[in-house]
Structure 1
Amino acid sequence: MKKVIFYLCLIVVIFSIVFYNQVGKTNNVQVSIEKSDKFSEEEINEAVVSVKKKFKEFKGCKLTEIWYSESESKEFAEDYLKYGGGYENSVNVENVIVLLSNFDVDSSGGDGSFEPNSTQSNWNWILIRDSKSDDWRVDDWGY
């Protein structure tokens, strides 16, 4: 009986380790928020939380920095509204925020789409919401 319990515990530990390594890591992320005339600090922090949640899908990657820059966000948001998904889904400018990030990719290359053992810099995250009272959701990401 003790051997059965031991092996069951061992299997649980192995599955836990494998599962933990299959999600994007978001612990110890350096967050920097520039003063904004457009969004409150709370709104920006809620967007950061949404990005961290989405990043967990980035297997084999570790988010190291995420930041909000009003000028960069404005530029990316304008492009998104003019040429990207914002044009297609008619989102209002006050409901679009862009965050930037850096993250490390491990030797697996993430899901295979990144260069192994690399760093992705200035990766942007476009978040939208239906209204000021709704939650942010990641609509697009990349360069």
Structure 2
Amino acid sequence: MSEQPGSPARPGEGPEERPEPRPGDRPPARGPVERTGWRALWLGGFALLTAFFFYPLGLVLGVAALVIGFRARRAARAAHGIAPGAVAGIALGTAGLVLSAMSVALTAYLWTELSGYQTCLSDANTHTDKDTCRTRYFPKIEKKMHLPAGSMDRYGDFL
């Protein structure tokens, strides 16, 4: 075995196989920390998505994204690594949590009007009955929300 300058003494120890770390580089997070960061991102995305369609689940997923995201960041900091997706998961979870909380608050505020409107719609048999429900409950919602008269008419199919 010839010892030439630049040749590795043992296999796997050559300069092309082991790059030199640069100053400021952190070792990549491996294992559970990395997975936890991605888990926080997925939970945050689902929290934001469900905030529009099923807001009680958005509350739960938003809180879960925040808790898991902060735990992932703390674990990554302790391991001197990074937790990819944790910060984005925290941001999305916060947005989903805020939207869901606002939806819950609005539903609680308008509970009597919305439940009366839904009961009226479930008892309606014809389109005329549904229009009667709208003319009875939409002005109540507009008054409670301090909206101009007739502004709820364009949201009839949404409710």
Determine which structure has the larger helix proportion and give its number: 2
TM-score class, shorter: under 0.3
Determine which structure has the larger strand proportion and give its number: 1
TM-score in terms of structure 1 length: 0.27
The structure with the largest alpha-carbon Rg is 2
